[in-house]
């Protein structure tokens, strides 16, 4: 049995290509890795660069094992596990520079390029934006160019890049066919680790003083809305999220509610139809205007009027709703819900409780108590600020009577405590308020900085009524946005500032492009695929029809591509057949003729590899070159016969 030939050594120039490609593939992971792991990866790459520059041998196996052990120790110290998304990506980021450090042969270089391909897929676990897709395409081009340089060391860098672009260009139509026709399924193709969505931001199922003001600092998009017809006025753009009814004196929490497939209320009043694209937040609620009808697909309705998904929102979702903000709700509320909306912990916020008792004694009607409480908050000269002071054991007391500085959660939480003390059932509602219309594509963009908290009170005969104590004290918050409501000189995030018109214009355009990417690329789901097939004349396309259409189109493209790439060389004459026969004999001895090599260069290289046959090889090559390229030389049969005999007698 013949022994397999060893892989040729890794060319020095290809080593530099590998190093640059690895650095390009690792760069997007730096923001997601702990600084210690990023530093270790950078040092390993730098070490590899020094070795390639000096043309030095790789380090000893024991040294590489120590570096690998250090990477594992740092990963466990950072994540307390070696499993999960972030820990797995960290280990993969360590494997690539370690593989480069031990690379000696072209086979090692191919393995390193395969690791780079795995890293490309790992980038989409962190983000799936258009910028990430463009960067992945750049990395793929670098990988293919490096592969071309690895297999053809004498090729110029520009030629390797041209080869990569030509190969990737030929794959683009097939990629588009797979994207459009590959059968879509509802749900992911594989399960994700438990920490895959740990970085999701957004509203929480609990609220402490200061929690929403921290969320305001983020300019990330929470969701986008496209209205059919006239959108609601700013005062009606309350996007309902978690409802917090449980209060322990300092923290508000969600109370477990009953879930139904349809709402308990009967919609009435003006209707607003819209499509909402919700970013993943790894929670169960769906944002919606008050109050959606029963047309929400695959959604549940809580008895606290919250719209809920059947599973945590871990991927971007798009749903169509019709909301009726003037619908009366809670007219026949259950007794246990009202009791929960009156509950206060004992000995908590005594001054606010005393004020509420006074409001109850002085106002027989609950509606009058609500108005009296709002009047008190307006007259107390409370300040609206993004930098509220820390509060202690009695947050409502300290905000209303001492610091008098707070954000919307301070206003809403203190107002609900005051209402419960006054005998009026009340609860905190969190969500988003307002939003900003993008003039480029007309969508309403609601950001994390639009997070808001308000209150609901229950009045007999009127049901649950929204009361926004922040808006009552600072009406500009609702009509003109957060930035207008904050006092002069207040430090604001750059996304909230009004004096960067040029940056805002650029942001509008970029977000409109990103929205198109989200809707038509990331949002290309089974329903959209079915709609496309219907427009193409396949109204009932199932996975079998889609797979057959995909196979037919892909086969047609590959056939056309194969015909285009089929060699168009003239039929080999007798002289070329002799030369090819010599090349095959030398190839069996490990000396392969490269397409760009001239006969003389190849003969000298073969003679150096097979010195015992040097004279014969050079003589045959000179004879062939004279017959093929000599000026005005005819090729009589005697000279061709002599060349053919020389090649036939050559037996290395």
Catalytic amino acids?
Answer: 408, 452, 468
**Would you tell me how many other CB atoms lie within 10 Å of the CB of residue 113?**
22
The answer to whether the beta carbons of residues 643 and 627 sit under 8 Å apart is: yes
The answer to whether the beta carbons of residues 522 and 316 sit under 8 Å apart is: yes
d(CA 213, CA 603): 77
- Distances in Å between the alpha carbon of 584 and those of 105, 436, 578, 592, 650? 24, 71, 10, 8, 12
| Token duo for residue 468 | 């926004």
| Token duo for residue 53 | 């520059």
Paired strand residues for 467? 455
| Token duo for residue 652 | 């290395």
| Token duo for residue 56 | 């030095």
| Token duo for residue 581 | 């026969």
Element at 479 (helix H, strand E): helix 476-479
443-465: b or e for each residue (b if 16 or more CB lie within 10 Å)? bbbbbbbbbbbbbbbbbeeebbb
The answer to whether the beta carbons of residues 168 and 140 sit under 8 Å apart is: yes
Q: Is 651 exposed, middle or buried (0-12, 13-18, 19+ CB in 10 A)?
A: exposed
The single residue listed with the structure tokens 């819900």 is 337
Paired strand residues for 454? 429
| Token duo for residue 298 | 């695959």
Paired strand residues for 426? 457
**Would you tell me how many other CB atoms lie within 10 Å of the CB of residue 582?**
25
**Would you tell me how many other CB atoms lie within 10 Å of the CB of residue 143?**
25
What is the DSSP code string of 173-192?
HHHHHHHHHSPP-SS-SS--
Helix (H), strand (E) counts: the chain: 23, 18
Roughly what angle, to the nearest 10 degrees, separates helices 574-587 and 599-609? 30
| Token duo for residue 233 | 């006025």
d(CA 186, CA 20): 39
> Which of 312, 280, 313 has the alpha carbon at shortest distance from 201?
280
d(CA 388, CA 403): 8
The distance from CA 513 to its chain's CA centroid, rounded to whole angstroms, is 15
d(CA 584, CA 572): 15
Backbone torsions φ then ψ of 467, nearest 5 degrees: -130, 120
**Per DSSP, which regions of 324-425 are E strands?**
383-384, 405-406
Backbone torsions φ then ψ of 186, nearest 5 degrees: -85, 100
> Which of 317, 242, 327, 338 has the alpha carbon at shortest distance from 292?
327
261-284: b or e for each residue (b if 16 or more CB lie within 10 Å)? eebebebeeeebebebbbbbbebb
With H, G, I as helix, E, B as strand and everything else as coil, classify residue 320.
strand
The answer to whether the beta carbons of residues 130 and 77 sit under 8 Å apart is: no
Element at 365 (helix H, strand E): none
């Amino acid at each position: 049995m013949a022994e397999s030939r060893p892989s040729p050594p890794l060319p020095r120039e290809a080593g530099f290509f590998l190093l640059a490609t690895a650095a390009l593939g690792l760069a997007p992971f730096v923001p997601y890795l702990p600084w210690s792991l990023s530093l270790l990866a950078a040092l390993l790459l730098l070490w590899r660069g020094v070795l390639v520059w000096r043309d030095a041998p790789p380090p000893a196996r024991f040294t590489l094992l120590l570096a690998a052990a250090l990477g594992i120790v740092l990963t466990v110290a950072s994540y307390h596990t070696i499993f999960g998304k972030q820990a797995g990506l960290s280990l993969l980021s360590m494997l690539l520079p370690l593989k480069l450090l031990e690379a000696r042969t072209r086979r090692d270089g191919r393995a390193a390029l395969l690791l780079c391909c795995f890293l490309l897929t790992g980038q989409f676990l962190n983000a799936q934006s258009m910028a990430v897709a463009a960067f992945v395409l750049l990395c793929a081009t670098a990988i293919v160019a490096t592969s071309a340089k690895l297999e053809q060391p004498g090729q110029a860098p520009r030629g390797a890049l041209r080869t990569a672009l030509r190969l990737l260009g030929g794959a683009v139509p097939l990629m588009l066919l797979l994207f459009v026709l590959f059968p879509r399924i509802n749900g992911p193709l594989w399960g994700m680790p438990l920490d895959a969505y740990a970085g999701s931001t957004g509203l929480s199922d609990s609220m402490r003083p200061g929690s929403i003001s921290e969320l305001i600092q983020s300019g990330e998009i929470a969701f986008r809305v496209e209205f059919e017809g006239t959108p609601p006025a700013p005062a009606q753009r309350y996007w309902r999220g978690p409802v917090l009814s449980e209060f322990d004196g300092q923290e508000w929490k969600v109370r477990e509610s009953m879930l139904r497939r349809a709402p308990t209320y009967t919609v009435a009043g003006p209707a607003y139809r819209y499509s909402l694209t919700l970013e993943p937040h790894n929670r169960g609620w769906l944002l919606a205007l008050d109050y959606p009808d029963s047309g929400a697909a695959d959604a549940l309705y809580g008895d606290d009027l919250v719209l809920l998904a059947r599973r945590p929102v871990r991927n971007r979702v798009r749903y169509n709703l019709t909301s009726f903000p003037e619908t009366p709700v809670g007219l026949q509320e259950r007794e246990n819900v009202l009791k929960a909306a009156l509950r206060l912990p004992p000995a908590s916020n005594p001054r606010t409780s005393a004020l509420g008792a006074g409001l109850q004694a002085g106002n027989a009607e609950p509606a009058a108590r609500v108005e009296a409480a709002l009047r008190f908050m307006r007259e107390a000269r409370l300040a609206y600020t993004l930098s509220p002071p820390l509060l202690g054991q009695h947050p409502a007391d300290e905000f209303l009577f001492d610091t008098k500085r707070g954000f919307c959660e301070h206003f809403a939480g203190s107002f609900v405590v005051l209402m419960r003390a006054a005998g009026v059932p009340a609860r905190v509602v969190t969500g988003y308020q307002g939003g900003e219309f993008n003039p480029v594509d007309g969508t309403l963009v609601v950001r994390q900085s639009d997070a808001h908290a308000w209150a609901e009170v229950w009045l007999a005969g009127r049901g649950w009524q929204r009361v926004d104590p922040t808006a009552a004290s600072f009406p500009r918050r609702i009509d003109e946005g957060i930035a207008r409501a904050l006092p002069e000189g207040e430090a604001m995030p750059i996304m909230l500032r009004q004096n960067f018109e040029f940056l805002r214009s650029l942001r509008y355009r970029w977000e409109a492009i990103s929205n198109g990417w989200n809707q038509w690329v990331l949002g290309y789901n089974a329903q959209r695929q079915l709609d496309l097939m219907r427009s193409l004349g396949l109204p009932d396309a199932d996975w079998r029809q889609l797979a057959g259409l995909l196979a037919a189109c892909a086969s047609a493209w590959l056939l056309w591509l194969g015909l285009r790439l089929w060699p168009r060389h003239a039929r080999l004459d007798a002289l070329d057949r002799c030369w090819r026969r010599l090349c095959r004999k030398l190839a069996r001895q490990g000396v392969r003729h490269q397409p760009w090599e001239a006969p003389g260069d190849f003969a000298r290289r073969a003679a150096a590899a097979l010195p015992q046959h040097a004279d014969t090889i050079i003589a045959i090559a000179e004879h062939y070159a004279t017959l093929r390229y000599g000026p005005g030389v005819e090729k009589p049969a005697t000279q061709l016969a002599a060349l053919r005999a020389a090649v036939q007698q050559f037996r290395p």
